[in-house]
């Protein structure tokens, strides 16, 4: 495992691999790695000759300074996990390396970026799209791995890659969960014991929604209402939104026919948790 801090060095490494005819897989992360990240790395390891993990807590995607300051950081522990998963290169740039003086360009995916998560996190997806565009251009990878847990993020990235003709296959990876269903997230460590105990209600509501869809319920609003009811019954949860949407443009749908995804955001104390599940694949 080699840690690479400079963009120029990353380009050299990547160019060498490409000249040798090797395929390159990239998994962008912000560190605080858990089993969810591991699953991305393991998949990349299986599918690509050279695996690059980026480790960069991207300041521009945090609309809340406090959230950025509190984001857990432990590069040494993350490098250890990357090594265990067979990562070849960890790209770990300093913020000024990514955003030097004079940096002004942003990538904006309108529509998708403003709804749902975008509503309570203005500028967030612009920050995500811009940093992922940079990482894909630096990494020159054949495949890039993203978690389905951040479903809206995945769709923003897919749209950007299609619109900008970036030559990469975006590989969506299943959400990895704790034993009680809570989707793994670097923010879970900020839950109090009581909040942590209450948090699986999100996964429970989504599992119930899946069961409704599987049993033939086609009324998207009935499923949406069921998810809301289950989460709102939990006193420690404050439901921000739940929707049943089309898988690609995340537009709300009335009837489930031809693909549907349920998305949830709920706040436990000061911690915002998101989760999603497929109700019908396309």
- Report, as residue numbers or ranges, the catalytic residues: 37
Q: How far is the CB of 150 from ligand AMP (least distance, A)?
A: 4
Which residue, 155 or 242, is less far from ligand AMP as judged by CB? 155
Please give the order of strands across the beta sheet that includes 24-29. 2-4, 89-91, 50-55, 24-29, 143-147, 169-173
Q: How far is the CB of 23 from ligand AMP (least distance, A)?
A: 19
Which residue, 146 or 268, is less far from ligand AMP as judged by CB? 146
* 166 near ligand AMP, judged by CB under 6 A: no
Q: How far is the CB of 202 from ligand AMP (least distance, A)?
A: 12
Question: Among all chains, which residue has been given the structure tokens 């160019």?
Answer: 15
* 183 near ligand AMP, judged by CB under 6 A: yes
Residue 180 Rama label (left phi>0; alpha psi -120 to 50; beta) = alpha
Which residue, 88 or 275, is less far from ligand AMP as judged by CB? 275
* 182 near ligand AMP, judged by CB under 6 A: no
| Pairing mode of beta strands 2-4, 24-29 | unpaired
- Give, as ranges, the residues between 34 and 53 that touch ligand AMP (CB under 6 A): 36-37, 39-40
198 burial level (CB within 10 Å; 0-12, 13-18, 19+) = buried
* 78 near ligand AMP, judged by CB under 6 A: no
Cα-based distances in Å from 100 to 7, 61, 69, 85, 94: 12, 16, 20, 31, 10
Residue 187: name the closest of 60, 26, 30 by CA. Answer: 30
Q: How far is the CB of 141 from ligand AMP (least distance, A)?
A: 14
* 93 near ligand AMP, judged by CB under 6 A: no
List of residues contacting ligand AMP (CB under 6 A): 29-30, 36-37, 39-40, 146-147, 149-150, 173, 175-176, 183-186
């Amino acid at each position: 495992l080699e840690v690479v801090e400079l963009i120029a060095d990353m380009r050299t490494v990547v160019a060498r691999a490409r000249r040798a005819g090797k395929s390159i897989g990239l998994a962008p992360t912000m560190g605080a790695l858990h089993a969810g990240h591991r699953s991305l790395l393991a998949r990349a390891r299986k599918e690509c000759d050279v695996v690059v993990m980026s480790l960069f807590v991207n300041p521009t995607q945090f609309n809340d300074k406090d959230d950025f300051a509190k984001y857990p950081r432990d590069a040494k522990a993350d490098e250890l996990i990357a090594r265990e998963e067979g990562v070849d290169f960890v790209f770990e740039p300093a913020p000024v390396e990514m955003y030097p003086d004079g940096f002004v360009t942003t990538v904006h995916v309108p529509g998708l970026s403003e709804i749902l998560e975008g509503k309570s996190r203005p500028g967030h997806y612009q920050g995500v799209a811009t940093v992922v565009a940079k990482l894909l251009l630096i990494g020159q990878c054949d495949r890039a791995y993203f978690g389905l847990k951040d479903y809206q993020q995945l769709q923003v990235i897919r749209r950007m890659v299609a619109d900008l003709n970036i030559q990469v296959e975006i590989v969506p990876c299943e959400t990895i969960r704790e034993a009680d269903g809570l989707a793994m997230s670097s923010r879970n460590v900020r839950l109090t014991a009581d909040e942590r105990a209450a948090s699986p209600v999100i996964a429970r509501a989504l599992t119930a929604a899946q069961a409704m869809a599987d049993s033939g319920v086609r009324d998207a609003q009935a499923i949406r209402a069921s998810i809301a009811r289950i989460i709102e019954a939990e006193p420690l949860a404050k439901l921000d939104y739940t929707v049943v949407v089309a898988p690609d443009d995340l537009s709300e749908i009335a009837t489930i026919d031809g693909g549907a995804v349920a998305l949830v955001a709920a706040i436990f104390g000061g911690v915002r948790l998101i989760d999603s599940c497929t109700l019908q694949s396309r």
